[in-house]
Amino acid sequence: MAPPVLHLRDISLTFGGTPLLTGAEIQVGEGDRIGLVGRNGCGKSTLLKIAAGLIEADGGERFVQPGRTIRYLPQEPDLSRYDSVLDYASGGLAPGDDPYRAQYLLEVLGLTGAEDPRTLSGGEKRRAALARTLAPEPDILLLDEPTNHLDLPAIEWLEGEIASMRSALVLISHDRRFLADLTRATVWLDRGTSRRLDKGFAHFEAWRDEVFEQEERDQAKLAQKIKREEHWMTYGVTARRKRNMRRVRELADLRSQKKAHRGPQGSVTLTVGEAETSGKRVMEARGISKDFGAGPVVRDFSTRVLRGDRVGLVGPNGAGKTTLLKLLTGALQPDEGTVILGTALEMVTMDQARESLKDDDTVAGVLTGGGGDMVTLPSGTRHVMSYMKDFLFAPEQARTPVAALSGGERGRLMLARALAHPSNLLVLDEPTNDLDLETLDLLQEMLADYAGTVLLVSHDRDFLDRVATSVIFAEGDGRWTEYAGGYSDMVAQRGAGVAARKAASSAPAKTATKPRPQEEKPKKKARLSFTQQHQLKTLPGEIDALTSRIATMQGELEDPDLFARDPKRFDKLMAEISKAQDKLAEAEETWLELEMLAEGDGD
């Protein structure tokens, strides 16, 4: 067997008195493709830095074959010592490397190389760091979250580029598709130690669950053994003193084993505060367009979003996903066309850049709104320390400023704040950034159980496949097309992914609930009759009255003793609520149709 190119063995490291790594190991052979996985905060990035030689471990061994080259991609690259992006990207080249490869990679990643590093955004710095890391084609690539801040075309290009390279690879990523496509072995960092699976990430989760199940069985057996020994100590027939003392020591050892066992890291608890049910039709766009002066961002787009839909917006950076999101939610007015929002909407948003988090805010302050120690939830109030635990924040982090949080912790904090508010419409702009795989699983399950509607911008292909019921795709030049299903369904219908940027194929896209305006415009605009004008004025009042009546009846149903005390009243309320909801849906439908007619009548 060939010796490893890189070998970390029995690595230990302690931060602030708390052991982070307690015997971790990773072995990289020629051409290996390894995924390094584990919960946020388990030490993955730290172990990768030790592998790169940037951090020295407290204990253990690091071996690198002489003459072998290693290149490391950090999460937060430092370009401050360079005059231009090209200088930075070329700074990683060694004698004999292709001097033009850095320029080529920068251009592929959307940079010219002439940019001033001091003016770059976080995403541009990451792309420059990718070019610097990939340019030498080293023996080993150590990549820490390489897809962060990249759009789908860049992610798909990067996947192909890495797949074509001869370098061995150790990869940290929250992107399941990226991990599954590129890895052939998995190292799982868990509670300070590591386990290796000689299969790619696609097989990891089933293996992890088997490990946890076996661990539970072993702990149950240990508990039973301790119980038997304790019973013997109390009630057993007295044997020779030597035998008794041996069993006493054995019992002490068993108790020490049980005490030393650290169970799996706790899971995030995601529960969304749900508001009253919205109207059946959440929003409808008719022929909307938007142009900021440099060409259309949205051109003649129509869609209808119904209660319970989970709509993903997909496209390259700069395509206008956030603009379309603002148009659909009423935050931005279209230049042409109409957007009608449904009734009783309670919207909660989560922004991509976490811009609503201020660096000097504390974790507790963000969750409580800056006052007191209680968090107000739809289900009641909870102490902030208790609510923080649901999102894996330790009590001592309550006064930690936002500026000191990691990307994953900021993501969890944004989720914690967003999910505390009652809603029936969630607007999520890149919610998966920096979240670990287990938290992504829980977010996915929460959205699947959510009774409201979701608008989602994401570059995570696997997450879109798991969550979205339809995908609105940026075809280019302001044109958007809606496809049924998730990202893979969209690719199957178009015949290409985002990187292709070509028009949709002849495969059937999702048929809009209403035809596009150019297909349905009558030769003469219809006029509202007197009856219709009267309905348009009176229906909002009827809708409000029905909504209030439904809320009153639902409030009465919340009495836990009602069914036992008065089952007939309970059944009557259920029937009346059902009838009222049908009437409400019909009234909303009529009002929206009349509103559309009125818009046309005023043209």
Identical fold at 281-346+422-520 and 530-601?
A: no
599: confidence class by pLDDT, cuts 50, 70, 90? low
127 CA to centre of own chain: 21
pLDDT of residue 369: 80
pLDDT of residue 497: 64
pLDDT of 328 higher than 70: yes
What is the residue extent of each domain of the chain? 6-206, 207-260, 281-346+422-520, 357-417, 530-601
**Parallel, antiparallel, or unpaired for β 453-457 and 425-429?**
parallel
Which residue type, as a one-letter code, is found at position 597?
Answer: L
Give the closest residue to 448 by CA, choosing from 344, 345, 309, 314: 309
Mean pLDDT for all residues in the chain: 81
229: confidence class by pLDDT, cuts 50, 70, 90? low
Is the pLDDT higher at 379 or at 322?
322
409-421 average pLDDT score: 78
pLDDT of residue 239: 45
Those residues with Cβ within 8 angstroms of residue 414's Cβ, 6 or more apart along the chain or in another chain: 350, 351, 354, 356, 357, 431
Is the pLDDT higher at 3 or at 100?
100
Which residue type, as a one-letter code, is found at position 251?
Answer: L
CA distance 261 to 273: 35
pLDDT of 66 higher than 90: yes
Q: pLDDT tens across 537-595, in order? A: 888 888 888 888 888 888 887 777 777 788 788 778 888 887 888 788 788 778 777 77
The highest-level CATH class for domain 6-206 is alpha beta
pLDDT of residue 513: 37
3-state DSSP assignment of residue 426: strand
Lowest mean pLDDT segment, chosen from 35-44, 431-440, 472-481, 517-526: 517-526
Cα-Cα-Cα-Cα torsion 375, 376, 378, 379, nearest 10 degrees, comes to 60
Classify domain 530-601 at the CATH topology level. Helix Hairpins (1.10.287)
351-363 average pLDDT score: 71
298: confidence class by pLDDT, cuts 50, 70, 90? very high
CATH homologous superfamily of 281-346+422-520? P-loop containing nucleotide triphosphate hydrolases (3.40.50.300)
Q: Which H, E and C letters describe 351-410, residue by residue?
A: CCCCCCCCCCCEHHHHHHCCCCCEEEECCEEEEHHHHHHHCCCCHHHCCCEHHHCCHHHH
Q: pLDDT tens across 126-153, in order? A: 899 999 999 998 999 999 999 887 888 8
